[in-house]
Each structure stands twice: as structure tokens, then as C-alpha cells.
């Protein structure tokens, strides 16, 4: 990332991420497709509530590991091999503990959180079963994310793709086998996901024990270096808090959607699955920009950082808006993957056509946030996103839904809050000397 053509480096790094994220979305969508078409809209509604709760618990921990990736990236760019090794072993050891914690907390808190979300009684049993089984794979989920974060921090986006190909195939085959042929119901869909998560985590971890380079894992060296962990957490904690609080905001949004019944839940859930594909160019370029910024700041390439961030943002915004136009035009067709019921399709299509033309704003938000995280400025994205994506969004929905009790009102909360946050980000991006202030070690 510190040498050569900037567009080429960013695109070549982002392409395997794109393919991997595409597989990840297919991986996530398989449950909904199989469940919705085999078990019906009530079961689909149960699975559709999963996104907010999963992000609430997993998002915080994954946010913490963002700090590990930034530290590894900067040390790698500075050719500090010993520092890279310490950061890797500290991060992976911490991931082991957090994965176990996620398993326990997720399993036992599931019924409580679903109750807070106002999950309807007819959906509650299936939702509870799905979540409890899903969180039994918490360790696999976290370890895979942590190992992939190490690969990406040193500029390797190919190996995470390979493991996703395998795990997606495993998840798809087991989903169909467990739900359609074995009759295991919604619990079978969750079990397929758990098994696939552990497969991908195992493959990634084993590879890291065999790579050549400072990021190689040695089992005997797995331990926590307190000063390094403190640096990693100081960078990752704001992102973890941001993810969790935004997830709480999403839980509030989901609770309001739940109040409109299982049709609204299934329709919105179908759209959110579809929207995941829109995030592909956004998240891929965001990760590429974070790695690009951290490595080049480590190498002291300030002008390269400035130029690269503009190029990467332009690519991501353009791709996101193109996809938004496609979604707007073809939403009814795309949503048929999840359900054939007219009422469900109508809700999903309305949400898609309300939000899709504003994807350029969503992309720019994520790009600037990723750039600032790569520079070690993790508090700024936290403040901006919590203020707009959580506080403003919850306030808007809480007030307007009671005045205009229709589900469409909820959909407009997203373009509104994306607009506010992108304005705040742009003001900071152009006025603050964040590049030369990006010395966080």
C-alpha cells in the first residue's frame, strides 16, 4: 500500500474483499431464502429480527479489533516486525477470550433482548431458538473476524476470500439439508451457520500459524502484552461503543417495525438483506482506505494519504450510487428471492425505493469514517455517528411514528440521518489537520 499506483493498489486490495463480502452476504441471505421459501413468512420474520441483535453483541467486539488492525497496519508500514508480532499475538489472544464471552452473553441474554425489542408472541419461540443456536458459534464468529483483520492489516485480502468461499458452500449445503430435507426447521438454519463459522475460523487461524512474515502466529507466544492491548483498545473502544449504540438504535427501529406486525417485519427484513449487497463497494473501499491510511502514515507518506483518500472515496461513492439506481428500478424482482407474498413485497419495495437513491451519502459516510480510523481518529466517527445515526434517528422515529403511524415514516429516517452525518464529516475532513495529527503511537 505504500508504493505504486494508488488506484491500482486500492482496487486490487478491494476486489478480493468485494468477492468475499459478496459471499458473506450470500452466506447471510441463504438462511432467509431457505427459511422464507420452505417455512413461510412467520419463520422469515423470526430470522429477520436477527440483524439488529447480532450487530448489537458482535458489533462491539468487532469494533474493538479495529484498533488491532490499525496498530498492525501502521507498524507494518513502518517495517516494525517485532511490533507487528506483538500486536498480532495480543489481538488473537484477546479474541479468544472475547469469543467465549460472546457465546455466554449472547446465549443467555437472547430472550431478554428480544423482549425489549417487542418481538410478537407468534414470532418469539422461533426467534429465541435461532438466536440461542447462532450464538453458540460466537467464538467462531469472533476468531474469524480477528484473523481476517490481521490478513487485511498487512495488505492480504485474498486469504479471507478463500475461507469465505469454503464456509459459504458449507452453510448453503447444510442449510438446504437441515431445513428442507431433514426437517430441523429454523434451528437447522442456525446450526448450519454455526458450523460454517467454525470452519472459516479454523482455516484462517491455521493459515496464520503457517505464513511467512511478522504476522505469523506461534501458539506458544499467544499472550497479551498490556501496553499493546491498551493502544489497541484505545483505538478500538470508540468504534466498539459506536457499533453498540448504533445497534441499540437499530433495535429501537426494529421494535417500531415489529409494532406493525409480521408482514412489516418480513418485508423490512427482506429489504435489509438486499441492502447488505449495497454495502459491498462501501465496506470494501472503507477497509481498503483504513489499511491504506494506516500503512502510509506509518511510512510517513502524507501526500500519498491525501491523494489516496480522495480517489478511494470517489470510487466507492460512484459504485454505491450506481447500485442504488439498479435497486430502485428492480426492487420488486430482487425481493422475490425472499418471499412471494404480495404484502411482504410491497413493504420491501417501498423501503428500497425510499432509501436507494441516497446510497451515495451512506458511502461517503463510511469512507470518511474509515479514513479517520486509519489515522487513529476513532473518536470523531463515534461522535458523528452516535449523534446522527442513533440519537437523531431514535428521536425522529419516536416522535413522527406517533404522529403519522405508518411504516413508511421509519424508512425516511435513514436518508435524513445519512445527510446530517455526512455534512458533519465533511466539515471535519476539510478543516482539521487529521493527516499530520495521525500519530497515535
Model pLDDT for residues 45-88, shown as the tens digit of each residue: 666 655 566 666 667 777 778 788 888 988 888 889 999 999 99
Q: Which residues contact 177 (CB under 8 A, 6 or more apart)?
A: 192
| Phi, psi of 252, rounded to the nearest 5 degrees | -65, -45
pLDDT of residue 279: 76
CA–CA distance, 7 with 30 (Å, rounded to integer) = 33
Cell of 20: 468475499
State CA 193 to chain mean position distance: 16
395 within some domain: yes
53 within some domain: yes
258 within some domain: yes
1 within some domain: no
| Phi, psi of 194, rounded to the nearest 5 degrees | -60, -50
319 within some domain: yes
What mean pLDDT do residues 173-191 have? 83
pLDDT band at 439 (very low <50, low <70, confident <90, very high): very low
- Summarised one tens digit per residue, pLDDT across range 239-273 is 888 777 776 777 778 778 877 877 787 788 778 87
304 within some domain: yes
pLDDT of residue 438: 54
In the chain, how many domains are there? 1
Host domain of residue 148: 6-431
Instruction: Write the DSSP symbol of residue 258.
Output: H
440 within some domain: no
pLDDT of residue 204: 94
* 3-class DSSP assignment, residue 301: coil
436 within some domain: no
- Summarised one tens digit per residue, pLDDT across range 283-311 is 888 888 988 998 888 888 888 988 999 99
Amino acid at each position: 500500500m505504500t508504493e505504486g499506483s494508488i488506484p491500482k493498489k486500492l482496487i486490487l486490495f478491494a476486489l478480493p474483499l468485494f468477492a468475499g463480502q459478496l459471499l458473506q452476504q450470500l452466506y447471510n441471505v441463504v438462511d432467509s431464502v431457505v427459511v422464507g421459501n420452505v417455512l413461510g413468512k412467520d419463520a422469515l420474520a423470526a430470522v429477520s429480527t436477527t440483524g439488529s441483535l447480532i450487530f448489537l453483541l458482535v458489533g462491539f467486539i468487532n469494533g474493538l479489533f479495529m484498533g488491532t488492525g490499525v496498530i498492525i497496519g501502521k507498524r507494518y508500514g513502518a517495517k516494525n516486525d517485532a511490533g507487528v508480532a506483538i500486536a498480532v499475538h495480543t489481538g488473537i489472544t484477546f479474541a479468544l477470550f472475547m469469543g467465549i464471552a460472546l457465546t455466554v452473553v449472547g446465549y443467555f441474554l437472547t430472550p431478554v433482548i428480544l423482549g425489549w425489542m417487542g418481538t410478537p408472541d407468534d414470532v418469539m419461540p422461533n426467534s429465541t431458538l435461532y438466536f440461542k443456536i447462532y450464538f453458540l458459534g460466537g467464538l467462531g464468529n469472533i476468531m474469524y473476524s480477528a484473523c481476517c483483520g490481521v490478513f487485511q492489516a498487512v495488505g492480504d485480502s485474498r486469504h479471507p476470500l478463500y475461507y469465505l468461499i469454503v464456509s459459504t458452500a458449507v452453510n448453503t449445503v447444510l442449510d438446504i439439508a437441515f431445513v428442507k430435507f431433514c426437517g430441523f426447521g429454523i434451528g437447522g438454519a442456525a446450526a448450519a451457520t454455526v458450523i460454517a463459522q467454525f470452519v472459516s475460523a479454523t482455516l484462517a487461524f491455521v493459515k496464520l500459524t503457517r505464513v511467512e512474515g511478522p504476522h505469523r502466529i506461534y501458539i506458544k507466544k499467544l499472550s497479551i502484552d498490556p501496553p499493546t492491548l491498551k493502544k489497541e483498545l484505545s483505538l478500538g473502544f470508540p468504534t466498539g461503543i459506536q457499533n453498540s449504540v448504533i445497534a441499540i438504535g437499530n433495535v429501537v427501529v426494529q421494535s417500531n417495525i415489529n409494532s406493525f406486525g409480521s408482514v412489516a417485519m418480513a418485508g423490512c427484513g427482506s429489504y435489509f438483506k438486499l441492502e447488505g449487497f449495497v454495502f459491498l463497494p462501501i465496506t470494501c473501499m472503507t477497509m481498503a482506505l483504513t489499511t491504506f491510511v494506516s500503512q502510509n502514515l506509518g511510512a510517513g507518506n502524507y501526500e500519498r494519504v491525501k491523494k489516496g483518500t480522495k480517489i478511494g472515496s470517489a470510487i466507492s461513492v460512484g459504485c454505491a450510487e450506481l447500485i442504488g439506481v439498479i435497486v430502485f428500478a428492480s426492487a420488486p424482482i430482487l425481493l422475490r428471492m425472499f418471499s412471494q407474498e404480495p404484502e411482504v413485497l410491497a413493504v420491501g419495495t417501498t423501503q428500497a425505493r425510499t432509501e436507494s437513491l441516497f446510497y451515495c451519502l451512506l458511502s461517503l459516510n463510511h469512507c470518511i469514517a474509515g479514513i479517520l480510523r486509519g489515522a487513529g481518529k476513532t473518536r470523531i466517527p463515534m461522535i458523528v455517528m452516535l449523534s446522527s445515526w442513533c440519537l437523531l434517528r431514535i428521536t425522529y422515529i419516536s416522535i413522527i411514528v406517533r404522529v403519522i403511524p405508518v411504516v413508511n415514516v421509519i424508512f425516511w429516517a435513514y436518508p435524513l440521518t445519512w445527510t446530517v452525518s455526512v455534512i458533519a464529516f465533511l466539515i471535519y475532513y476539510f478543516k482539521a489537520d487529521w493527516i499530520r495529527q495521525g500519530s497515535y503511537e
